[in-house]
Amino acid sequence: MRSRAIVLAVAAISCGTAASETNGRARSVSAQHAAFAQYETFSFGSADQPAKGYEVSPHSLEVQKRLVEIVEAAFRERGYVKTGGRADFVVKLASGTGEPKTMPPEQRGGTVPATGFIGIDVYDGASGTQVWQGSAFAEIEMERIDDALLARGVNHMLTTFPGKDAAGSSKD
């Protein structure tokens, strides 16, 4: 497990991409050996743990439920087909809530927003090897879930995930 984290950290430094907006940032890492051109179907696996510093909360569990629809739609848009059986790749989602950042006394005034984490991990269906990872972080409101913010985070993460063209081959 530790070696996987080190490999992913090195990969993130060497080939990760970042997208930022006023509220949030996203990045993704793809394994160089992944056979994306052969992938046609996907399924969802059990949830992964959130990033370090983020905890599973009732808020993040609701976020995770909403992520399933958003991520499924995003992969369908890219030409992949969801299956209930054995899939070419398995998607595992993660979400978590972080503590509000502490602010110096002179900057305190209103409510300091909490931070949220969403993650998408993709594993090769045959080997179980992780082939792609995306993550996004943003300030969140604990009173409500911003579906538009979730969709933006997913879309930013998946900008580097190869889609399928009409003939079924991978396109970059």
What count of Cα atoms within 13 Å lies in the side-chain half-sphere of residue 81? 10
Res 152 pLDDT > 60: yes
Model pLDDT, residue 115:
86
Number of domains in the chain: 1
User: What's the CATH number where 87 sits?
Assistant: 3.30.160.670
Structure-token match 């409510």, residue found: 111
Give yes or no for residue 109 having a pLDDT over 80. no
d(CA 40, CA 126): 13
pTM here is: 0.75
> pLDDT class for 170, splitting at 50, 70, 90?
low
In a domain, 45, yes or no: yes
pLDDT digits (tens, 9 = 90+) for 118-144: 999 999 999 999 999 999 988 888 888
The reply to whether 168 falls in a domain is: no
Task: Tell me the average pLDDT across 49-61.
Answer: 89
Q: How far is CA 116 from the centre of its chain?
A: 12
* Residue 130: inside a domain: yes
Q: How far apart are the C-alpha atoms of 23 and 70, rounded to whole Å?
A: 19
Domain that holds residue 53: 2-101+113-163
| Domain contains 106 | no
